[in-house]
Chain A
Amino acid sequence: MESTFIVAAIALMFPLFACLYRAIRGPSATDRVISINVIASKTVAIIALISFATDETFFLDVAVVYALMGFIVTIGVAKYLEYDDVS
């Protein structure tokens, strides 16, 4: 079962790097923000898969914190886009 999780994590890497193309080449700042948001979701899934593949389940706490950080980044950039200011 561990090798299944490793294969699933590797299979998630390819869409992640494809999203990186949109984050670099995106025409507007909103494209970059939504592609970084998707990359954060995929990273949470990969961290959960690796934590079960290596049987170190305290990595799930890292996944919780990463989900929180992605949300805060998205909200901050959206506020900057709307008001041209983050204060």
Chain B
Amino acid sequence: MKQIFPLTFMTHNDIPHWISHLQKIENVIAPHKNGINSFSFGKVSDPKCVILNYNRTLSSIKKYFLPPKETLFSFSIDGKEPTSSKVEPINAIFLGVHNYDLEAVFRLDHNFLSGHAESQYLTRRQGALFIGVSYTPDEWHFSNSVLKDGEPNHSGGFDLFLHEIEDGYLLETLTESGQNLMKGFPLPEFDGDIPQQQSFNAHIDGGFEKVTDVFSRAWDSPVWESYAEKCVGCGTCNLVCPTCFCFNVEDEVDLDLKTGNRIRTQDGCMLRSFSEVAGGEIFRNQKAARMRHRLYRKFKYISQETGESWCVGCGRCSSYCTAGISIVDIVNDLIHDSNREIGA
């Protein structure tokens, strides 16, 4: 890759000092350890608690731009003009973000920019800087099967990017904003190449090109029903997906019974009530139909307009599925089923 800024080197010991340096510029949001193998993004208070070597966080950084629950406006029940909730730009440095999670943010950008531009998301989205980190794919990651640049060390779109090497990190500077973050924190230049990418363990057979092809004729496949039999319809896959953005809207009344808030909460198309209309009709009553809708949202409906997969291959829905269903298995079964059908 062509270097615009020189590659520099940082030891493991440098990392907490560097984070302290970044904190002087802006709030830093980074992964922390929550349990044996559970990680989550949070605002850094102690730089020593930041974990850069992790497989995946339960929630993506989506939660900072599209909170799981937020107030849209406040009202008084007597019907006076409601008051819009104030939304502030995030103005933060996101440190230790994997390639697929930034790709997911770009997809949310598209959804909230296209058609009616939404102020809640877009206002928050201001002032976000991204520092990526390479990762070692585990049994669930499959980003290079769906993304054009899905390699764990792909740094495109980031301001700075950390490539893990044996005794520390190579720091790649990609934007002027990234360069500005390094002012006052000099690092030795590194004379060498960025290390080879790590290979993936999970794959979609034939990659995204094959996915696009198969989803043009997967509608009536028996594969949907075979996985729906296992699915418990809990919606965890929607909850952890970094590109799921559907929401429900409802009113919460304060204890004084005079005022309240209209809130939106994260919702999921795998939940039975999602497509219910007044009078009780449910338009996707079968789990197989809901599962099909979810996967078509990831691989076809928005993808056919943008040319991009709306699944980023993070592996969250598979690794957290309460019934042990893997999205890679579903897609590969759809591919094999369609190959059988056309006699390939």
Whether A associates with B in a native complex is: no
Contact residues of B with A, CB < 8 Å? none
Contact residues of A with B, CB < 8 Å? none
